[in-house]
Amino acid sequence: MTSKPNIHIEKLTTHIQGLDHIAVGGIPKGRTTLVSGTAGSGKTVFAAQFLAAGVLNAEQNGVFVTFEENPEEIRRNMIGLNLDIQTMEAAGHWAFVDASPQPGERVIETGHYDLGALLARIEYAIRKVNAQRIALDSLGAIFSRFSDPSLVRSELFRIVSALKKMGITAVMTAERTEEYGDIARFGVEEFVADNVIILRNVLEAEKRRRTIEILKFRGTSHQKGEYPYTIIPSQGIVVIPLSAIELKQKSSDVRITSGNPDLDHMCGGGFFRDSIILVSGATGTGKTLMSTEFMAAGTSPNERCLLFAFEESREQLVRNATGWGVDFNQMETEGRLKVVALYPEVAGLEDHLIMMKDMIDSYRPTRVAVDSLSALERVSTIRGFREFVIGLTSYIKHKEIGGLFTATTPTLLGGTSITEAHISTITDSIILLRYVETYGKMRRGITVLKMRGSRHDKDIREFTIDGKGLHIGKPFRSISGILSGNIMPVTSGEIERMRGLFSE
């Protein structure tokens, strides 16, 4: 009895950021991969970036076969993605095969026809630049120009077979009519079904969300499911692989101050250096003040603070901090603080995540504050926001940075927010700020709901805010229901009865 040979399928690293992770090393080498997507999903960008990444990162030359846009349009469009195709052509690393329709051209079908001439042009271009990669964009354009789809399919199969014999790794793009319908129009997947990647550009709740899915790699492994991606002007396609997140972060016993001695005491001596802290409360309860004090606490020579603000401008933050006795301008002058203030609507959530990661990498802070996460909910779907929160918090923990995030509750008294539901389970500490209405007067309360790996104060304490910052006082003893928002007075007799229940 003979055993079957162990056939290993070699992968070709695409060098498209994030894609090689979900592809477990890259796309199958020497084979054709179909990239299918609806309008606006980034198919042409994918094809061009696949070739350019090979030239720039792996010394692998490429051929671009275009059936739709002419080469000049592609050169011009890709300049915005920092892909200088013309320079690559001049250096002999890139060649175009222009099969796009010419202005005024009419296709007249007479008798039997084939794409033998096109195949000859492709083979010539491959030999001319010694190409290892080829992209064909887009197959739907050639189908629309001829009346017999079955004949076009057979001719394209002939081209695919020829490319396979030459050992060329190919990417073919094709159109889809629905985000979750057939793989591609015209049954393209029938002859190039070894490998299929689907790009989606889904409209949900008036918001666009791009995702990529490797539907199949025949004979080799890949990550399953959809992953978010975006198209960055200077980088092109960037895939955000949540599967790359690993629970291998180090844990530190070193404490850092919150910037408030009373809060440090409630937290058992301060926050852990690499912890994620969530500060949750209604508008006006003091969340921005807590993030300001957290930034101001980075006073040691080795500390650098990074503040992401999505609700207030830099000037407004500086003015507010000055009112609490904190000089943000001086901190920036000394190189101890960097403030990044943006409206959430200026970019998609995936773009914000990549920008924030890049900023953390370049500035290398020891403290990061985000004020507020709730503002970012406006520009994303629930699923997209959850992925953003997980991606950002895990990245900060991986860098062993102290991170403080603020979240706004939807009601003045008690209540949770969508933000809390997504981030609470992956935070190390949760601090709740609440309004407390008693006898016609609004007071403020604070409690440490959670503090992983440390003892902490369980009381709900009153706090006040003045020109010197936040001051925490005594616990509330005569009322209950503060966290739920159903505040009720508690008599002295009831307090004594409860003490008796829990006394030894």
The residues assigned a catalytic role are 68, 311
Q: Dihedrals φ, ψ of 325, to 5°?
A: 85, 20
* Longest CA–CA separation in the chain, Å: 101
* Cross-strand bridge partners of residue 435: 444
353 and 388 Cβ atoms separated by less than 8 Å: yes
Q: Closest Cα partner for 391 from 269, 264, 494, 238?
A: 238
End-to-end CA separation in angstroms for the chain: 77
* List of long-range contacts for 83-89, beta carbons under 8 Å, 24+ apart: 83/48, 83/49, 83/52, 83/236, 85/48, 85/52, 88/52, 88/55
Report the SS3 class of residue 481. Answer: coil
Q: Where are the beta strands (DSSP E) in 25-61?
A: 27-28, 32-37
What Rg value do the Cα atoms of the chain yield, rounded? 29
203 and 189 Cβ atoms separated by less than 8 Å: no
Report how far residue 197's alpha carbon sits from residue 492's, in angstroms, rounded to the nearest whole number. Answer: 68
Output the six-digit token pair for 259: 């910037």
467 and 325 Cβ atoms separated by less than 8 Å: yes
19 and 158 Cβ atoms separated by less than 8 Å: no
Q: Closest Cα partner for 141 from 98, 84, 200?
A: 98
Amino acid at 14: T
